Structure 1
Amino acid sequence: MNTKAKDPHTVTVNLRSSDGYVCDIKAGHHQLIADEPIPLGGTDLGPTPYVYLKAALGACTAMTIRMYAERKQWPLQDAVITLRHSRDGNKESVFERDIKLVGELDEEQRQRLLDIADRCPVLKTLSHGATILSKLID
């Protein structure tokens, strides 16, 4: 197995020592914050990690749909993705993804774009799993 990362976009997360669960996230030149809600001991300064996970799935879905529609020169104006996460009775994660397609698309185009949504790379990673290699460094 190739253990060398192919992703050139490193993300660094620092846990603020004095702010409970607040994490400063540096992703390239972007600065983000993650936190937990107040009832869970956080300060609610930013989205939770699961909210970021849903955002990643939604953004990837919308981008995948847009790329395909542009290649086909279909009149897609917008794709609105609404996501929910829960656990079923077996404690398996379940993501519900509602997709609203805006534009003068016929039913065949709409169905094809729904199928294409399942080609989103983040969805594939979540569906098929990933190997996570962790090591302590100095």
Structure 2
Amino acid sequence: MAIEVFKSTAQLTDGMRVECVARDHTIILDEPKELGGTDTGMNPVEAVLCALGACKCIVARCFAKAHRIDLQDFRVEVEGDLDPDGFMGKNKDAKIGLSEIRSKIYIKSSSPKEDIEKFVEFIDRTCPVADTLTNSPKMVTELKIER
């Protein structure tokens, strides 16, 4: 199967507010007021956590029947630890990004516990966002100066 390219654009608007577009969909990212934003949207770190939880939900929905899981309800709560001193340059030893991400999966199902546990392991192995966070992709930045 050929590689599929996903694209997005992030445009800084006012203050810390960023308009993010992918295909025909737009979301607004911002920072809380105490971090200099206007709190009109979640911040980028929260968006990453949401993307991880959403991806796990989608994987669960896509593969539940194939794994013979009676998926009645499925929710993922995700939290991560970030030391702002790393990003702000106040502590050179602090990690700039998240140091740990934790997921709590809530599933309503009549399937056996052992099958659900194996299914959750499958979800964690198969989730593209989890894989991206666990096995960092090659990062390439190209600069275009507009005058």
TM band (smaller chain): 0.7 to 0.9
In the TM superposition, what whole-angstrom CA distance separates every residue of 1:7-41 from its partner, at most 9, and x where no partner exists?
Answer: 4331011101xx21100111110011000000010
Q: Is residue 136 from structure 1 mapped to residue 136 from structure 2 by the alignment?
A: no
Residue 45 of structure 1 deviates from its aligned partner by: 0.6
Match of 1:123 among 126, 130, 143: 130
Structure 1 partner of 2:38? 43
Higher strand share: 1
Question: 5 Å matches for 1:69-80?
Answer: 69-80=64-75
State the TM-score, normalizing by the size of structure 1.
0.86
d(CA) in 1 for partners of 2:12 and 2:60?
A: 35
Report sequence identity in percent. 31
Matched length: 131
Question: 5 Å matches for 1:23-42?
Answer: 23-42=18-37
For 2:120, what is the secondary structure of its paired residue?
Answer: helix
Whether contact under 8 Å (2:67, 2:119) holds in the other structure is no
Residue 117 of structure 1 deviates from its aligned partner by: 2.0
Query: Which runs of structure 1 show a deviation greater than 6 angstroms over 4 or more consecutive aligned residues?
Result: none
Whether contact under 8 Å (2:69, 2:116) holds in the other structure is no
State the TM-score, normalizing by the size of structure 2.
0.81
Question: 5 Å matches for 1:1-138?
Answer: 6-16=3-13, 19-87=14-82, 91=95, 93-119=99-125, 120-137=127-144, 138=146
Q: CA RMSD in A?
A: 1.9
Question: What stretches of structure 1 of length at least 5 have no aligned partner?
Answer: 1-5
In the TM superposition, what whole-angstrom CA distance separates every residue of 1:78-112 from its partner, at most 9, and x where no partner exists?
Answer: 21100001048964610010001112121121111
Question: What stretches of structure 2 of length at least 5 have no aligned partner?
Answer: 84-92
